[in-house]
């Protein structure tokens, strides 16, 4: 049996806010730790029928980056749901929701920049 290990290192400031996030994976093909400004990690607890999650971001994560990160995560979740189920109508709804989120955010940002 093959095993893969993912390691996440989070450096915290004195107030326990993330200062730096780095990760490595034995199967990534990259030896050096990869830096990240934000992360989302979720596990399914089958006994409790609930999601356990860790959402972290550093002060360097800009609002525009966070919006793009969420858009991409929403799209990725739709792709994953598509591969895991045969519910094409729900996948389309998830993709549409992600696209609408992105469009509305970009519209709001553009409106704020013009003001």
pTM here is: 0.89
Under-70 pLDDT residues of the chain = none
The per-residue pLDDT for 100 is 98
The per-residue pLDDT for 20 is 98
The per-residue pLDDT for 115 is 85
Per-residue DSSP letters for the chain? -----EEEEEEE-TTS-EEEEEEEETTSS--SPEEESEEEEEEEETTTTEEEEEEEE-TT--HHHHHHHHHHHHHHHHHHHHHH-S-HHHHHHHHHHHHHHHHHHHHHHHHHHH-
């Amino acid at each position: 049996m093959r095993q893969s290990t993912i390691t996440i290192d989070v450096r915290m400031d004195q107030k326990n806010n993330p200062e730096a996030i780095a990760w490595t994976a034995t199967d990534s093909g990259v030896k050096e730790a990869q830096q990240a400004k934000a992360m989302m990690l979720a596990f399914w607890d089958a006994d409790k029928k609930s999601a356990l999650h860790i959402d972290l971001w550093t002060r360097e994560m800009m609002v525009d980056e966070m919006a793009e990160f969420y858009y991409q995560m929403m799209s990725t979740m739709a792709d994953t749901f598509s591969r895991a189920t045969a519910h094409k109508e729900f996948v389309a709804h998830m993709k549409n929701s992600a696209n609408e989120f992105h469009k509305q955010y970009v519209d709001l940002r553009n409106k704020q920049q013009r003001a």
